[in-house]
Amino acid sequence: MPKKSKKHDNRLMIFPKEQLFHYLRSGKFKALSNDWKHESMGLLFDYELIVVTEGTLFLRYMDEDFTVSTGEYLILPPSASNRIGFKKAYCSFYWLHFTADLGAFPSRLSPDSIGSIKRANCFIMPQNGHVPSLEKIIVHMKQLQDLERNNYPDITLNAVVTAILTELYGQLEVEKQNDNDPIGNNQIYSDIADYIRRNISENLKITDIANAFGYSPKYLSHLFSEVRGISLKQFIMSQKIDTACYYLTDSDKTVTQVASELGFSDMHNFSRAFKKSTGLTPSAYRNTYAKRLLYHV
């Protein structure tokens, strides 16, 4: 029987640092029911990045079973194996196929066999795990699809693919630094950042967050400036805008609904804050990336 992979103790993927990855195709898949199971499909020369936005994907590949839940990613390396579902379930996910030239290096390693790879011109990341900032990755994936639909040149598509993989790598590295913080400031930052993301629909105030964690508002504001380089108030707004971008590109919520679900008092305040951050009104932003690639194989 194949063994189930562990989320944070799995194989590591290797990618070249100074190379544009080559875009092949991408899309968004949404199962029609709870009875869906991934069909058997080959992946001979391609890498595939999968980011699950709803439900759970049960996928078997290279004699390993992967369970990928909402907010998690999976990277499949090229092989002669077919990927196939091993359990029925509803799920929705973005997927991206690309190639990368690793030369003599293998596409993945076990954690105890890194060796000289660290000194090579490569970066290493877990094959699967949690996406620290899902909204950012999904917005990038949606933008990539829009570029393809509008017939942008290969170099543009390749650059965006590379940006997506390195964005995910960067998120994982920052999270790792937070976990390894000996003083604890980064851990406090991570706990509060998670609290903000969980309560993003509320009209969050610094005093309320400080009371919830037992710190003074002044201390938390200083901590966020030290760790993140922006104030806590700015961080709260940045999370709301990231979530708004995600809703506007990956849902059918109206702009009014988006504003309400993110705790803005009215549409005017939401539109003003959104335009200040992105340079576009919410409607203009949605129209810019309005095209979706559903069931694109």
pLDDT tens figures, 54-102: 999 999 999 999 999 999 999 999 999 999 999 999 999 999 999 998 7
Residue 4, phi then psi, degrees to nearest 5: -80, 130
Are the C-beta atoms of 26 and 294 separated by less than 8 Å? no
Q: Mean pLDDT highest for which of 45-59, 183-197, 221-235, 257-271?
A: 45-59
Residue 53: what pLDDT? Answer: 94
Could you give all domains of the chain from N- to C-terminal order, each with its CATH number?
3-131 (2.60.120.10), 185-288 (1.10.10.60)
How far is the first Cα of the chain from the last one, in angstroms, to the nearest whole number? 30
The rounded distance, in Å, linking the Cα atoms of 294 and 44 is 23
> Among the listed ranges 49-53, 107-111, 114-118, 168-172, which one has the minimum average pLDDT value?
114-118
> Among the listed ranges 107-111, 146-150, 237-241, 258-262, which one has the minimum average pLDDT value?
107-111
pLDDT of 2 over the 50 cut: no
Residue 294: other Cβ atoms inside 10 A: 10
The rounded distance, in Å, linking the Cα atoms of 239 and 131 is 15
Residue 5: what pLDDT? Answer: 38
The enclosing H or E element of 81 equals strand 79-85
Residue 273: what pLDDT? Answer: 92
Residue 7: what pLDDT? Answer: 42
pLDDT of 129 over the 80 cut: yes
134: Cβ–Cβ under 8 A, 6 or more apart, which residues? Answer: 51, 53, 71, 246
Mean pLDDT score of the chain? 86
Residue 297: what pLDDT? Answer: 36
What is the DSSP secondary structure assignment for residue 204, as one 8-state letter?
A: -
Residue 112: what pLDDT? Answer: 62
pLDDT tens figures, 9-61: 468 898 988 889 999 999 999 999 999 999 999 888 899 999 999 999 999 99
224 or 129: which carries more pLDDT confidence? 129
Residue 209: other Cβ atoms inside 10 A: 18
CA atoms 27, 147, 134, 16: torsion sign: positive
- pLDDT band for 250, please (50, 70, 90 cuts): confident
Report the pLDDT averaged over residues 114-126: 74
- pLDDT band for 118, please (50, 70, 90 cuts): low
pLDDT tens figures, 168-182: 999 998 888 766 654
